[in-house]
Amino acid sequence: MLWGYAMNLQQLRYVRALVQEGSFVAAASSCSVTQPTLSNGIAQLEADLGHRIFRRTTRSVALTAFGERILPSILEALSAFERVRELAKQSEKLLHVRIGISPCVGASLAETVFEAAKNQLPDIEVIYSESNLLDLCEQMRRAHLDIILAPLDLRSSVVPDAMLHHIHSEPLVFIPRKDRRSTWSLARRVSVGEIAQEQFVLVPNACGLAQVTKRLFDDNGYGLNRYLGEASSYTAVTEWADLGLGSGILPLSKVPEAARGYAMPIVEKGEPALIEYYAVGKPSTIPAAVFNQIWETLQEAKLPSMGSRRTAATAPAYDWCL
């Protein structure tokens, strides 16, 4: 039985170099050591292991059967060490902050939200993961995310036990289905009651938008008449409305330019119906002190306004949206 191996990484590097170069002279040169140093290092390793790794002749060097057997493990050990060293170097330079974003938010808004944090904390790198709200909340519960940006209904049990900060609002817009557009051709805005009988194409509930839409109708005393199928994306909602499958409700930023001519803002009780975006935060992958610094910058972030709670009774269709 062999105990107390004195092998070290440098000896393993000597073995790799000799296999790659095929001669002691070239291997020593590639390792920036003298030939006797490399030869002695390999000889010591062989003595510690109790087996020859190389078969030497006056003209060539070749692996023994034992050498062939252990070479993959030697290369794997060196690769693992070099990977650990590289990760250590990266950690010295950057601290990764894991951010989950809802498709409703998107990377452009997220970059605006974290612009100040990036400027004030140059040693952090923001890593985004886009997914639906349910998945993001589950990832936060498993300590895989530090911050989530998403539309929230604060009365929902979906929201994790974490810090909350309101970051943005934007108007909700009604997109009538193709065969009903003549009905709304003279309207500049619509109330929830006026569109309550429409059938709506929604994206999956996990997104956050569907939850906000349902709450909009519930709070105004109406049921939401849903199309039986579901669109996979915000673009698909408009496409399906163009096909006459159902009407849609989207945040203004998700309405395609081509649909702006027939889309119209929704009002509730005389004010724009808004979708509210929040930051949900809990330090999971970063130190609490760094998280607190980032969170402070979020509260100071200046975001472009896309809507307000002022009365829309006399406003043109989009002057309070754009």
Output the pLDDT for position 88.
67
**3 state DSSP class of 294:** helix
* Pair 254, 309: CB distance under 8 Å: no
* Interatomic CA distance for residues 175 and 251, integer angstroms: 11
| Residue 22 backbone class (left: φ over 0; alpha: ψ -120 to 50; beta: rest) | left
* Pair 26, 84: CB distance under 8 Å: no
Output the pLDDT for position 90.
58
Hey, what's the torsion of the CAs at 308, 309, 310, 315, to 10 degrees?
60
* Pair 170, 253: CB distance under 8 Å: yes
Note the pLDDT tens digit of each residue in 205-258.
Answer: 766 888 889 989 999 999 999 999 999 888 999 999 999 999 999 999 999 999
* Interatomic CA distance for residues 139 and 152, integer angstroms: 16
Q: Where are the domains of the chain?
A: 9-88, 95-167+277-300, 169-274
Q: Residue ranges of the chain with pLDDT lower than 50?
A: 1-5, 307-322
For the chain, strand residue ranges (E) read 54-56, 61-63, 95-101, 124-130, 147-151, 163-175, 190-191, 200-202, 226-230, 248-251, 264-268, 271-272, 274-281
Tokens 């200046």 -> residue = 302
**3 state DSSP class of 52:** coil
DSSP letter at 270 equals T
Output the pLDDT for position 209.
86
Helix, strand, coil percent values for the chain (each to nearest 5): 40, 20, 35
Pairing status of strand 264-268 against strand 95-101: unpaired
* Pair 116, 297: CB distance under 8 Å: yes
Same fold, 9-88 and 169-274: no
The CATH number given to 169-274 is: 3.40.190.10
* Pair 84, 77: CB distance under 8 Å: no
Adjacent-strand bridge partners of 223: none
The CATH number given to 9-88 is: 1.10.10.10
Burial label for 185, CB within 10 Å (0-12, 13-18, 19+), is: exposed
- Regarding the domain delimited by 95-167+277-300, which CATH topology (the fold level of the hierarchy) does it fall under? D-Maltodextrin-Binding Protein; domain 2 (3.40.190)
Output the pLDDT for position 266.
96
Output the pLDDT for position 114.
92
Q: Which amino acid is at 282?
A: K
Output the pLDDT for position 20.
92
Q: Which amino acid is at 154?
A: L
Output the pLDDT for position 304.
60
Q: Which amino acid is at 264?
A: M
Output the pLDDT for position 3.
41
Output the pLDDT for position 89.
65
Tell me phi and psi for residue 59, to 5 degrees: -115, -20
| Residue 106 backbone class (left: φ over 0; alpha: ψ -120 to 50; beta: rest) | left
Pairing status of strand 190-191 against strand 54-56: unpaired
Helical ranges in 121-201 per DSSP H: 133-141
Measure Cα distances from 180 to 19, 36, 59, 116, 125 in Å: 76, 89, 89, 45, 48
Measure Cα distances from 103 to 100, 108, 200 in Å: 10, 11, 20
